Structure 1
Amino acid sequence: MQPFNTQFTLSRDFLAECFDQSLPYGKNVKPNYLFPILLLSSGAGLLLFIEQPKIAGCTLIALGVLELIHIRFRRAWWLARQMLGKSAGSEVKLTIDKDGIQTQNPYTITALLWTDIERIIETDLGLILVAKSGGQQYLSKSLLPAELIDEIVTKIKGKH
């Protein structure tokens, strides 16, 4: 495999693409409503059945509402957290070579070796590389030439 180098900016649009393309294949495809329901019902129970000050019940209800807001706006919530991180807006150097895939920005260096990749998921706009550890790394197809995309897919699927 010929070494390939490119640079891109960790922009809001890129992060939105990462979220949108990765969500259907992530661990939390369906939101978990059980936790906020438990918080709300526990808070309501404390308010109704305890004679003590109502602070604990109100706190549990507030946490339940906050969790429901988190579920409803999880894309915006995730994007806001990413944009508040120090890596947001920085230039990322992407290197793909015979050893694996390396990304480097002013704050972190991440390497994913070919031997550490368990499987690959091809989406409309990118590739999701699933590591043996369970982590996922997203590569946008807009950053890569078509021949390299085919080579990556063949390399990973050929291992199995």
Structure 2
Amino acid sequence: MSQAFSYTAEYVLDKSYFEECYQQSINPNTSPKRFIKTTIFALVGLAILMLDTVSPTSMSTKETYYLGYFFIGLAVVEFLSIRFNKTWWLWRQMMSKAAGEHVNLTIDDNGINSQSLHVNQQILWTDIYRITETDAGLLIKLQKTTTYLSKRCLDKSAIDFINQKQ
């Protein structure tokens, strides 16, 4: 009878961890399609401002004027989120309540369990669709999401055990 496997580790959700998550798990979209929403916001904003100035009716109010600039502002914010994608993503992660938290990781025969003050995630082995090993970690593909697990908190036996469960 084989002995049950159990591995426990602790890591911190700091900037270097989030940066590693981004680099290993996010494929930046380089297609021109990513600018569609930016273009639509800008065109709607410009259309509102143009219609406001050429309209013979008294439709021209402060609200429509501000609405046009609001859509142009949305276009600028959307453009910046595309242009500075990594910085934007890291900033959002660092502003989350989970940033800076210590996470207790447990890997056993049931699955992978991550516990912190704000997050309690249990991934059962039966829920895992695919495991992809990267240079710095493991991408764990579930039915609708992907989770990243860094190798910096895992030893060789834990990595081998996870890969065996695939």
Q: Which TM-score applies when normalising by structure 2?
A: 0.85
Of residues 11, 23, 29, the one that matches 1:20 is 23
Summarize deviations over 1:18-63 as a string: whole Å, max 9, x none.
1111102xxx744721101100111112222333242221111111
- Distance in structure 2 (CA, Å) of the matches to 1:154 and 1:3: 14
1:37 paired residue number: 39
Of residues 133, 141, 144, the one that matches 1:130 is 141
- Distance in structure 1 (CA, Å) of the matches to 2:99 and 2:67: 37
Of residues 35, 38, 56, the one that matches 2:67 is 56
Helix, strand or coil: the match of 1:96? strand
Shift in Å at residue 135 of structure 1?
1.2
Are the equivalent residues in 2 in contact too, given 1:23–1:29 (CA < 8 A)? no
Are the equivalent residues in 1 in contact too, given 2:41–2:75 (CA < 8 A)? yes
1:121 paired residue number: 132
Gaps of 5+ in 2: 54-59
RMSD: 1.6
Moved runs in structure 1, 4+ residues, more than 3 A?
28-31
Of residues 126, 143, 146, the one that matches 2:153 is 143
Shift in Å at residue 75 of structure 1?
1.5
Q: 1:104 to 1:70 in 2, by over 3 A?
A: same
Percent identical among aligned pairs is 35
1:11 paired residue number: 14
Shift in Å at residue 128 of structure 1?
0.6
Shift in Å at residue 83 of structure 1?
1.4
Summarize deviations over 1:114-135 as a string: whole Å, max 9, x none.
0001111221111010112x11
Of residues 95, 105, 110, the one that matches 1:94 is 105
2:93 aligned partner, one-letter code: Q
Helix, strand or coil: the match of 2:26? helix
Are the equivalent residues in 1 in contact too, given 2:107–2:158 (CA < 8 A)? no
Helix, strand or coil: the match of 1:129? strand
1:152 paired residue number: 162
Helix, strand or coil: the match of 1:33? helix
2:57 paired residue number: none
Gaps of 5+ in 1: none
